[in-house]
Amino acid sequence: MTTEAALVDLAALGENFTRDPYPVYAELRARGPVHHVRMPEGHNAWLVVGHEAGRAALADNSLSKEWRNVSPELGIAQLSSGITMLSADPPLHSRLRKLVAREFTMRRVEQLAPRVQQITDELLDGMLPAGRTDLVDALAFPLPISVICELLGVPFLAQDSFRTWSNTALASTDRAAREEAGGRLTQYLIELLAEKREQPGDDLMSALIHGSGDDSDDSGDRLTGDELLGMAWLLLVAGHETTVNLIANGVLALLTHPGQLAALRSDFSLMDGAVEEMLRYDGPVETPTYRFTTTPYRIGGTTVPGGGQLVLVAIADADRDPARFPAPDRFDIRRDTRGHLAFGHGIHYCLGAPLARLEARIAIRTLLERCPDLALDAHPAALAWRTGMLIRGPERLPVRW
């Protein structure tokens, strides 16, 4: 039986929802696993809440990632240009992921650890004499963008402009601003790829370019021009955004939970578990990239119509579901976090998860070791949070030591 769903206007909740969406999600979860909502970005979606329903939706390949299946009535457009793993269904997704995975190996990630440590140390060397800083500007952003640029072999990235375009494209609730930033980012990536073709090296981007064909080439072991552009967008944007906000949210959670911070300082063997709890408690991805119905989709007592309806999984709520995690609103670095969905689930599970974990472990441990009296330099309620429902994190994180 299909239940008629009233529209829940999340956009009307304003800054309160942006700052702390968890109570809203919990209230919706108590009423059922799926709700028709108006997003802060201005369009309608079907929001899946709860761990069980969210995990099932993330793994359900009947929900399409391909933008050709979106209903034109929703009035939404794809921001990223080119073809990416996040906008493809099997078998295309399988082919694209295989091409990147053979270069983005665990061995390559592990070999980055000394360099991640070196970059972290250099950033802290420049930061520490001041006694206070915005941690997003000083560490959380420059570390992952530097690492992903070195991995891809694009040291000439214009970081300030890139950051502005990326932040606006992913988090602005102004549609025109999102589209303009997306266009500028796309043009920049086209120029970056052209420059990289002229300056190849022993890096991931050179390996992808070397094997890419032209736009008409659909052979299974080559990237077309559109696919290469999509990969550049995915690896550079997704390759840093998750870690920026993992570091910022994680440090904020520690600084607002002094008992947990003290426990970690006294025993850094807890660091791996602490990072997993940071991911569960206040992860960097609030909802994943879009999925669309191709046929009616049944969740609980509700049938979401087919024909390209937007389905969003509230990852943030899935990881705060008391049915999966006891006392989920408590930050506990010793908890069993197995099953959290911070990096997704199913075939679209984040390929860069090992790199994000590595960077967070090194950055946060080194920060705590070198700043034994680190403290928040603003009231938590005064922090401004990034808008939109995709990326979750503070715009700035003032700290002192």
270 pLDDT higher than 60: yes
Q: What is the pLDDT of residue 185?
A: 82
Q: How far is residue 4's CA from residue 146's CA, in Å, rounded to a whole number?
A: 49
Q: What is the pLDDT of residue 103?
A: 65
Percent of residues, the chain, with pLDDT higher than 90: 63
Q: Give 300's contacts (C-beta < 8 A, 6+ positions apart).
A: 32, 33, 34, 53
Put the strands of the sheet holding 375-376 in their side by side order.
132-134, 398-400, 375-376
Q: What is the pLDDT of residue 277?
A: 98
25 pLDDT higher than 80: yes
- The predicted model gives 238-257 an average pLDDT of 93
Q: What is the pLDDT of residue 156?
A: 64
Q: How far is residue 394's CA from residue 376's CA, in Å, rounded to a whole number?
A: 13
List, in sequence order, every residue forming a beta bridge with 46; answer none if it has no partner: 36, 311
Q: What is the pLDDT of residue 217?
A: 46
Q: What is the pLDDT of residue 216?
A: 44
For 56-73, what is each residue's pLDDT tens digit? 999 999 999 999 999 999
Instruction: Give the residue, 374 or 5, on which the prediction is more confident.
Output: 374
- The predicted model gives 155-160 an average pLDDT of 70
79 pLDDT higher than 90: no
Strands 398-400 and 132-134: antiparallel
Q: How far is residue 277's CA from residue 167's CA, in Å, rounded to a whole number?
A: 25
Q: Give 264's contacts (C-beta < 8 A, 6+ positions apart).
A: 254, 270, 271, 274, 333, 368
Q: How far is residue 81's CA from residue 99's CA, in Å, rounded to a whole number?
A: 19
Q: What is the pLDDT of residue 21?
A: 97
Percent of residues, the chain, with pLDDT higher than 70: 94
What does the DSSP 8-state code read for residue 384? -
Torsions phi, psi of 9, nearest 5?
-90, 90
Report pTM. 0.91
Q: What is the pLDDT of residue 275?
A: 98
- The predicted model gives 131-156 an average pLDDT of 88
What CATH architecture is 8-400?
Orthogonal Bundle (1.10)
Strands 132-134 and 291-293: unpaired
Q: H helices of 4-50, where?
A: 14-19, 22-31
Q: How far is residue 206's CA from residue 246's CA, in Å, rounded to a whole number?
A: 28
For 81-136, what is each residue's pLDDT tens digit? 678 888 899 999 999 888 888 767 778 788 889 999 999 999 999 999 999 999 99
**Which 3 state secondary structure label does DSSP give 79?**
coil
Q: Dihedral of the CA atoms 97, 103, 104, 107 (nearest 10)?
A: 140
Q: 244: part of which helix (H) or strand (E)?
A: helix 239-255
For 204-222, what is each residue's pLDDT tens digit? 788 788 765 444 444 446 7
**Which 3 state secondary structure label does DSSP give 218?**
coil
Mean pLDDT is lowest, of 43-52, 182-191, 263-272, 275-284, for: 182-191
Tokens standing for 126? 């420049």
Tokens standing for 380? 């938590």
Instruction: Tell me the helices (H) and strands (E) count for the chain, helix number first.
Output: 17, 11
Report, in this order, helix, strand and coil percent for the chain, each rounded to 5: 55, 10, 35
Q: How far is CA 324 from the centre of its chain?
A: 22
Q: How confident is the model at residue 176 (pLDDT cuts 50, 70, 90)?
A: confident
What does the DSSP 8-state code read for residue 394? B
Average pLDDT, the chain: 89
- The predicted model gives 357-363 an average pLDDT of 97
